[in-house]
Amino acid sequence: MTSEQSTVRRAVTIVGPTSVPESTPLSKPEPWLSPQVSSYFIAGGIAGAASRTVVSPLERLKIIQQVQPRNTGKPYTGVWRSLVRMWKEEGFKGLMRGNGINCVRIIPYSAVQFTTYEQLKKWFTSNGKRQLDTPTRLTSGALAGITSVCTTYPLDLVRSRLSIATASMLALNNTVASTSAPTSSSSQPRLASALHTSARPLIPSELTMWGMTRKVMREEGGVRALYRGLIATAMGVAPYVGINFTAYETLRGFITPPGKSSAARKLTCGALAGSISQTLTYPFDVLRRKMQVVGMGSSALGYQYNGALDAARVIIKTEGIRGMYRGLWPNLLKVAPSIATSFFTYELVKEFLLGST
């Protein structure tokens, strides 16, 4: 080898590696909060608020029917009859009571749920490189449900307290339990102290989100009281959300084939998915409400439980399996339009935001 050939070979060796970055430039890492993730979050929050506001009266009725004692003289029975009764006793504010905090809770809840589900689907499928099968959908939905409920559970508990704060169950229950003849003043609905933790009537400041939160923390054991029933809730939410997302996306494949994705078909998919998932997991929702009101003067409400398992045992023993499905009918009337509105609004807002970026 001549000295000239050796010089050329050394030049190639030196120049070769330095030319690699020019042919394969390094890509910038995606930001943590990308426009796509932001679209998921915003669309999820708007979808949650819209869906719950539409069915707020039915949501409150469901909670009342779940927690009212069995020996109530005039229980809330029948969907239409109960809604008329709430209107007569409390007016429009009674029908919508608890919806403000419900929206405060559902906006981050729904935003976290949809965003987590979308991101987990990408993670499990390596950004679409692997097929999205049913087990992956179920797992992604279950984890998204657990994440969202742990994030917003204190708001859910306070919302439940506010929803039944002015229901006239206690006054009616006391009327039945009392042996004295009822008078016109004692038979009127009033703020029921036994629906709360203390033996005194509620004051107006405690009928707000912050006021009820302070009351629960002050009288029931601090921050820990705000998470009463979390385990039972997570046990119910995980399969519910997993089945909900899986059923919706599966039904979309049959009901909304290419070229036939009208608004009515999308709403039908959401309504059917919500009804299926709610029916299968409804007993967990009953246990969650029971545990959330344990500190609300439960002896006057007719029960006192030591935990979710104890609540399930007592309910089945005293009321049978039917007791685990109390309030299911108004809940199904609520779930169908609620989930339909949620999925439809989410997809509509998400497509709008992604299309504008």
Task: Tell me which of 249 and 184 has the higher pLDDT.
Answer: 249
Please tell me the predicted confidence (pLDDT) of residue 180: 43
Segment 325-354 mean pLDDT:
90
DSSP per residue, 282-350: HHHHHHHHHHHTTTTTHHHHT---SSHHHHHHHHHHHH-GGGGGTTHHHHHHHHHHHHHHHHHHHHHHH
Note whether 148 and 238 are within 8 A (CB): no
Please name which of 176, 157, 164 lies closest in space to residue 70, comparing C-alpha atoms. 176
For the chain, give the mean pLDDT.
77
- Of 18-32, 65-79, 168-182, 252-266, least confident by mean pLDDT is 168-182
* DSSP classification of residue 257: -
Q: For the segment 244-253, what is each residue's pLDDT rounded down to a tens digit? A: 999 999 999 9
pLDDT of residue 141: 96
Q: pLDDT at position 1, please?
A: 54
Q: Give the mean pLDDT of 186-202.
A: 41
Mean pLDDT for 145-161 is 87
Q: Quickly tell me which residue has 């206690």 as its tokens.
A: 170
Burial classification of residue 90, based on how many CB atoms lie within 10 Å of its CB (0-12 exposed, 13-18 middle, 19 or more buried): middle
Q: What pLDDT does 215 receive?
A: 87
Highest mean pLDDT, choosing among 26-35, 200-209, 220-229: 220-229
CA angle 277, 285, 231 (to 5 degrees): 110
Average pLDDT rounded to a whole number, residues 10-19 = 46
229 three-class SS: coil
State the pLDDT at residue 327: 77
CA distance 106 to 341: 14
Alpha helices in 19-55 (DSSP H): 20-23, 35-54
CA distance 260 to 195: 50
pLDDT tens, residue by residue, 54-91: 888 887 887 777 677 766 666 777 778 888 888 888 88
